[in-house]
């Protein structure tokens, strides 16, 4: 398949994702658990991207251009109901980073995302969620000093700076902490089990 055709297809998938997200934000229904419509779209996008990656490997900028490569990464980040696809993508991305064909920041975000879903500590502190006090904070990570060293090594800001940025974003998007933290965690763990992140 022609690189330009592949690029356009991937960008279309990302646009569908963004359009639906914006629609759900406007309706105020995006954050009431994992929205069914969003989940269905993420799964179908992952399936289409998986078929493309089966043919071309990791969709680096060199293969399909920067815009489409960034779009592919976003689709992978959002394929949270497909653990095997996410893990396979992370391995391919790691290989691309090793060959200087992809951005190590992209790998940091994907690696952390997988760790969070598996209930493991993050290495870079890129993934955030509401805590039991109703604050937006990083999901558990191993060690603050090490996290900041790793972040600096790949050109990320400090975790403290990122916490401020995330709290500004939450205000801007008018996001609210869950009404029932315990119930939300129970539902989240049940979902993780149902799609295969945890046993």
pLDDT tens track for 135-162: 999 999 999 999 999 999 999 999 999 9
Count up the domains in the chain and report the number. Answer: 2
Q: Does 98 lie in the same domain as 5?
A: yes
Q: Does 198 lie in the same domain as 114?
A: yes
pLDDT at 31: 64
pLDDT at 9: 97
Q: Is the pLDDT of residue 166 over 80?
A: yes
Instruction: Report pTM.
Output: 0.92
Q: Does 109 lie in the same domain as 43?
A: no
Domain that holds residue 130: 104-199
Let me know: does 138 contact 127? Beta carbons within 8 Å.
yes
125: phi > 0 → left, psi -120 to 50 → alpha, else beta; which?
left
Closest of 25, 49, 47 to residue 35, by C-alpha: 25
Q: Does 150 lie in the same domain as 58?
A: no
Within 8 A by CB and 6+ apart from 8, the residues are: 68
Q: Is the pLDDT of residue 1 over 80?
A: no
Give the chain as a 3 state SS string.
CCHHHHHHHHHHHHHHHHHHHHHHHHHCCCCCCCCHHHHHHHHHHHHHHHHHHHHHCCCCHHHHCHHHHHHHHHHHHCCCCCHHHHHHHHHHHHHHHHCCCCCHHHHHHHHHHHHHHCCCCECCCCCEEECCCCCEEECCECCHHHHHHHHHHCCCCCHHHHHHHHHHHHHHCCCCCCCCHHHHHHHHHHHHHHHCCCC
180: phi > 0 → left, psi -120 to 50 → alpha, else beta; which?
beta
pLDDT at 139: 97
Q: Does 199 lie in the same domain as 118?
A: yes
State the Rg of the chain over Cα: 17
How many angstroms separate the CA atoms of 78 and 14, rounded?
Answer: 10
Q: Does 89 lie in the same domain as 108?
A: no
Per-residue pLDDT of 99-148, as tens digits, reads 999 999 999 999 999 999 999 999 999 999 999 999 999 999 999 999 99
Query: In the listed set 102, 132, 164, which residue is the last one of a domain according to the structure?
Result: 102
Q: Does 108 lie in the same domain as 56?
A: no
């Amino acid at each position: 398949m022609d690189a330009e055709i592949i690029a356009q297809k991937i960008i279309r998938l990302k646009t569908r994702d963004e359009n639906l997200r914006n629609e759900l934000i406007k309706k105020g229904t995006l954050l009431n658990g994992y929205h069914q419509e969003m989940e269905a779209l993420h799964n179908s996008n992952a399936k289409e991207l998986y078929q493309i990656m089966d043919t071309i490997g990791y969709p680096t900028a060199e293969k399909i251009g920067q815009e489409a490569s960034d779009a592919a990464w976003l689709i992978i980040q959002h394929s949270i109901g497909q653990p095997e696809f996410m893990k396979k993508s992370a391995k391919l991305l790691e290989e691309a980073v090793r060959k200087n064909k992809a951005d190590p920041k992209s790998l940091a975000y994907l690696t952390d995302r997988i760790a969070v879903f598996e209930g493991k500590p993050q290495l870079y502190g890129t993934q955030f969620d509401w805590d039991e006090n109703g604050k937006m904070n990083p999901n558990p990570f191993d060690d603050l000093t090490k996290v900041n060293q790793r972040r600096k090594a790949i050109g990320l800001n400090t975790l403290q700076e990122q916490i401020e940025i995330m709290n500004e974003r939450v205000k801007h998007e008018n996001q609210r902490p869950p009404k029932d933290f315990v119930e939300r965690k129970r539902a989240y763990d049940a979902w993780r089990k149902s799609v295969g992140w945890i046993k």
